[in-house]
């Protein structure tokens, strides 16, 4: 820990430690409303040609698992940042398109513009943490998370969004909702158990990351949610540059950056690409690079994830990254998560 450990014990850490409560309350509020049921039925009946998944920042990255779930169930699905949707793909606004829009505030500049441009052409399912926001009030159906107010960087709102999107996927894809609810119920205690050792995790990562100037986060499939959100969170929290990309993309150029100053976080991910990710990790080490694997078999306790049902794995994957943000802040003695130039809600596009 730094000479003054209290430097990292601010409001951002408070939000991280509040995540189990946010998950519990979000789960308690999940239901299948009549508007949501009707839209799900219309999609199942083929009345929508395209599903557009959209958001900005961590709200966008949180959509990766749902995107893969919809593709697996043969729904033609597009995942696009809201700004790109507005300016370059707005022909998708029509009656044959179903939009799933994720925004924690429900009032960011891009979301407000989306509502103005769409004007009821496409049906909209909103996932938001703000029940009386423009997004919630103009959407055809809502799933509201219950993370509560958040200091700055998205942490508990991100986890709550992942839970809500998992629920949405099960509703649309006709999953076993009772079983899903039981599996989602394991998220809060599992997260709580991991966070109980946060000081030990930060201490371990302090040593592991010492001397790092270039930080990469890589993974495949659903892990791209943690990869994208993790890199964004590190930049926001610590003013430290981090880059997230697929494990395959890392081999196409960035592999050349391996050095004592470069550290790579490799997400083990799902079984179908586990061997590929393990091979990348081994190759990084073989070339003298520095790396850590995040997964159930990780040697580092801070990066070791408990075995868990599939619906909550994406929730667990971001936890080591949150610990990394605390460790990086501790290295330089600054409060993590305190915005100096940005704001919690981005109101200018």
150-167 pLDDT, tens per residue?
999 999 999 999 999 999
Cβ contact 65:169 at 8 Å: yes
Would the CA dihedral through 171, 177, 183, 184 be positive or negative?
Answer: positive
Give the confidence band of 340 by pLDDT, cuts at 50, 70, 90: confident
CATH topology assigned to domain 197-332 = Rossmann fold (3.40.50)
Q: What is the DSSP letter of 304?
A: B
CATH superfamily of 15-186: Glucose-6-phosphate isomerase like protein; domain 1 (3.40.50.10490)
pLDDT at 88 over 70: yes
The H-or-E segment that residue 244 falls in is strand 242-246
How far apart are the C-alpha atoms of 77 and 70, rounded to whole Å? 7
pLDDT of res. 62:
98
**Contact (CB, 8 A) for 293 and 268:** yes
pLDDT interval class at 7 (50, 70, 90): confident
Can you give the pLDDT at residue 3?
42
Average pLDDT for residues 309-329, to the nearest whole number?
97
Distance CA 314, CA 298 (A): 16
What is 273-294 written as a DSSP string? HHHHHHHHHHHHHHTT-EEEEE
Q: What is the DSSP string of 72-110?
A: HTT--EEEEEHHHHHHHSGGG-STTEEEEEEESSS--HH
Residue 27, pLDDT above cutoff 60: yes
Tokens of 179: 């079983």
pLDDT at 169: 98
Measured in residues, the chain has a length of 349
User: 208 pLDDT exceeds 50?
Assistant: yes
Residue 339 binned pLDDT confidence (cut-offs 50, 70, 90):
confident
Burial of 78: CB neighbours in 10 Å, binned 0-12, 13-18, 19+? middle
Query: Which segments of the chain belong to CATH 3.40.50.10490?
Result: 15-186, 197-332
Question: Rounded mean pLDDT of 245-253?
Answer: 98
Residue 55 · residue 82 · CB < 8 Å = yes
**What is the share, in percent, of the chain residues with pLDDT greater than 90?**
94
């Amino acid at each position: 820990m730094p000479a003054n450990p209290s430097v990292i014990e601010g409001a951002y850490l408070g939000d991280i430690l509040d995540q189990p409560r946010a998950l519990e309350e979000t789960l308690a509020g999940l239901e299948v409303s009549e508007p949501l049921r009707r839209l799900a039925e219309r999609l199942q009946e083929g009345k929508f040609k395209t599903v557009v998944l959209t958001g900005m920042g961590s709200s966008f990255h949180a959509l990766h698992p749902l995107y893969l779930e919809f593709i697996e169930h043969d729904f033609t699905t597009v995942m696009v940042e809201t700004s790109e949707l507005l300016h370059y793909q707005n022909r998708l606004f029509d009656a044959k398109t179903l939009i799933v829009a994720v925004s924690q505030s429900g009032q960011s500049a891009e979301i407000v513009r989306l509502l103005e441009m769409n004007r009821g052409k496409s049906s909209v399912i909103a996932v938001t943490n703000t029940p009386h926001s423009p997004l919630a009030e103009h959407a055809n159906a809502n799933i509201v998370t219950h993370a509560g107010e958040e200091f700055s960087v998205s942490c508990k709102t991100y986890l709550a969004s992942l839970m809500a999107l998992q629920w949405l996927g099960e509703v649309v894809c006709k999953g076993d909702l009772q079983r899903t609810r039981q599996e989602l119920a394991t998220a809060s205690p599992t997260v709580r158990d991991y966070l109980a050792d946060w000081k030990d995790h930060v201490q371990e990562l302090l040593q592991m990351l010492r001397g790092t100037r270039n930080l990469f986060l890589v993974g495949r499939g659903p892990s791209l949610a943690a990869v994208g959100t993790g890199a964004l969170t590190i930049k926001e929290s610590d003013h430290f540059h981090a880059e997230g990309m697929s494990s395959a993309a890392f081999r196409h150029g960035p592999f050349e950056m391996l050095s004592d100053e470069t550290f790579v976080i490799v997400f083990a991910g799902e079984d179908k690409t586990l061997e590929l990710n393990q091979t990348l990790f081994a190759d990084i080490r073989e070339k003298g690079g520095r790396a850590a694997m995040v997964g159930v078999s990780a040697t580092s306790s801070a990066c070791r994830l408990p075995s868990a049902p599939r619906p909550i794995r994406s929730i667990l994957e971001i936890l080591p990254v949150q610990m990394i943000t605390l460790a990086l802040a501790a290295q330089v003695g600054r409060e993590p998560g305190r915005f100096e130039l940005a704001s919690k809600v981005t109101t200018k596009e």
